[in-house]
Chain A
């Protein structure tokens, strides 16, 4: 499985990651290697096999509809990179 420059640019944009030309080269090479290895899965016929997402019987978990105290806002906002009043401040969203 070979991936090209267009592929790596597309995946990087999906991932919200910027790459330098040098990094693109490196990742094209490494991801192609890994995907070639992964291709071995195609040796198996899985037509009648069900996909499995969880190894144990996962089921919906409900709790009583009762409000409980949240972590105090002040504690949460201690980690904020930028604040304006009680709000998280971000760069302009709409042009």
Chain B
């Protein structure tokens, strides 16, 4: 195939499929070949779904041949983060404790992908149980940033972001508890959406912080994000936090522009600690929005500095409870030798979990334990309310908020791995949206001096994903940052 189809957005690939210019089977073979040659340098995947993907491709080719109705994602390869359950296909959470776990059911979002004729091409690497900001906490491999292999791809959905950025999949799903979709999207130069809490069912997403977790999209452009969100959004009885709010047509009116839009700029997000290149890229982006007719309004989100502290109490308290289920009884790893059942639990968990997961479970249990509950968990839950209140007040004056996704364009593998607190501070700009439950998108808005991509984050009110996509698209169609491709440091024929 002479066309570099793997570089195409999903909506362009789909047009080629529907016009019968290409067969889905050839397309999938083509992506699988690409994965074989490039994956050793990127390490984005834990599992490649080769056999099943080809089988499904053939089925869709037959449907198209017979002029049968096909789904919204007909023939499109989609990578799925390995903490989202796929029936019959290993789902490890990048943990030893789930090494051999084969889910007996599909997550809601996976069922939706299949209903819309998407091809699940593989399961992507992550920080163990999505706990991390660099994908270095995986028990299996370290994923590299396609823009520079010495740098992390971000995390925890680093495998999904790297797979899309390196053209190893057309699109991908991730999960975002404190920025795990938006931050890797920013660091890998792609588009990442964290929907409103309650917009997408978490049924089948392995739980981490249940009051924060949300499944999101990683795509090559904003229109692809709109299509993928269209597929996964909606009510599901099996997630009791899923909301019965109608899902709008996200593509319809995506080009309506930003004239008279009020954009809030929170001063706390442009304070000390923000990298100069990131700052400049954001300033330029805001100038662009002004040219397009938007109004820039200075706002304050005064409790921003407390967000990371609140998050590491709330998320870990919830994690300590959610991860209590890994006891070696019904599924997953079990320690081979033990002396009684309690000893079996302890050995299983000690051998099965990595250090970051242990750290967080212990921190969470500490914050919830007798004598400390009020000082930590209750206090954090109250400050969380103040943070949410900041957004409520801000959204009375503005239609959206624009800020950086990450304070730095990236960091090197190993640079922050030794200091957990430093790693936690990577998420300072993304965590508040999870605490408040509001939707956010990260889109590419520039490059650092070292050539690393920079992400711009746009936040809106609950259930205003459609507006977010419109605002992001208005910027994207005026710029070409999303079209830039990393030059992979591998031999030229494999590029």
Partners in one complex: yes
Interface residues of A (CB under 8 A from B): 3, 7-8, 10-12, 14-19, 23, 26-27, 30-31, 33-35, 37-38, 40-42, 44, 46, 49-56, 58, 61, 63, 71-72, 75-76, 78-82, 88, 90-93, 95
CB of B197 closer than 8 Å to a CB of A: yes
With A17-B346, A49-B382, A90-B341 in contact, do A31 and B309 touch (Cβ < 8 Å)? no
A11 to B365, Cβ gap below 8 A?
Answer: yes
Chain A residues with Cβ below 8 Å from B355 are 23, 26
B386 to A34, Cβ gap below 8 A?
Answer: no
CB of B273 closer than 8 Å to a CB of A: no
* Interchain CA distance A44-B306 in the complex, whole Å: 9
Interface residues of B (CB under 8 A from A): 100-102, 104-105, 196-198, 211, 237, 240-241, 243, 303, 305-306, 308-310, 312-313, 320, 324, 327-334, 338-347, 349-350, 353, 355, 358-359, 361-363, 365-366, 369, 376, 378-386, 388, 420-421, 424, 435-438, 462
B345 to A41, Cβ gap below 8 A?
Answer: no
B363 to A31, Cβ gap below 8 A?
Answer: yes
- Pull 27 A–B residue pairs with CB atoms less than 8 Å apart, ordered by A: A11-B365, A14-B369, A15-B349, A16-B342, A17-B358, A23-B355, A27-B362, A31-B363, A34-B424, A35-B366, A38-B312, A38-B313, A38-B376, A41-B306, A41-B310, A41-B379, A46-B379, A46-B386, A53-B381, A54-B211, A55-B197, A55-B211, A55-B435, A79-B102, A79-B104, A79-B330, A93-B341
Interface of A is mostly: loop
A12 to B381, Cβ gap below 8 A?
Answer: no
A5 to chain B, nearest CB (A): 13
A58 to B361, Cβ gap below 8 A?
Answer: no
Chain B residues with Cβ below 8 Å from A14 are 365, 369
Chain B residues with Cβ below 8 Å from A88 are 329-330
A14 nearest CB neighbor, chain B only? B365
Which interface residue of A38, A42, A90 has the most chain B CB atoms within 10 A? A38
Chain A residues with Cβ below 8 Å from B104 are 71-72, 75-76, 78-79
Chain B residues with Cβ below 8 Å from A16 are 324, 327, 342, 345-346, 349
B357 to chain A, nearest CB (A): 9
With A14-B369, A61-B237 in contact, do A91 and B338 touch (Cβ < 8 Å)? yes
With A30-B420, A55-B435 in contact, do A17 and B349 touch (Cβ < 8 Å)? yes
Interface of B is mostly: helix
With A61-B237, A78-B102 in contact, do A18 and B369 touch (Cβ < 8 Å)? no
B359 to A31, Cβ gap below 8 A?
Answer: yes
B383 to A46, Cβ gap below 8 A?
Answer: yes
A95 to B340, Cβ gap below 8 A?
Answer: yes
* Interchain CA distance A10-B164 in the complex, whole Å: 44
B329 to A81, Cβ gap below 8 A?
Answer: yes
B320 nearest CB neighbor, chain A only? A15
B345 nearest CB neighbor, chain A only? A16
* Interchain CA distance A16-B350 in the complex, whole Å: 8
B375 nearest CB neighbor, chain A only? A42
A57 to chain B, nearest CB (A): 9
A89 nearest CB neighbor, chain B only? B329
B359 to A56, Cβ gap below 8 A?
Answer: no
B102 to chain A, nearest CB (A): 6
A77 to chain B, nearest CB (A): 8
Chain A residues with Cβ below 8 Å from B102 are 78-79
Which interface residue of A16, A31, A54 has the most chain B CB atoms within 10 A? A16
B338 nearest CB neighbor, chain A only? A91
**A31-B363, A34-B420, A88-B329 known, 17 other contacts, Cβ within 8 Å:** A3-B366, A11-B362, A15-B358, A15-B362, A17-B346, A17-B358, A18-B350, A33-B420, A37-B421, A41-B309, A41-B310, A44-B386, A52-B388, A55-B438, A71-B105, A75-B104, A79-B101
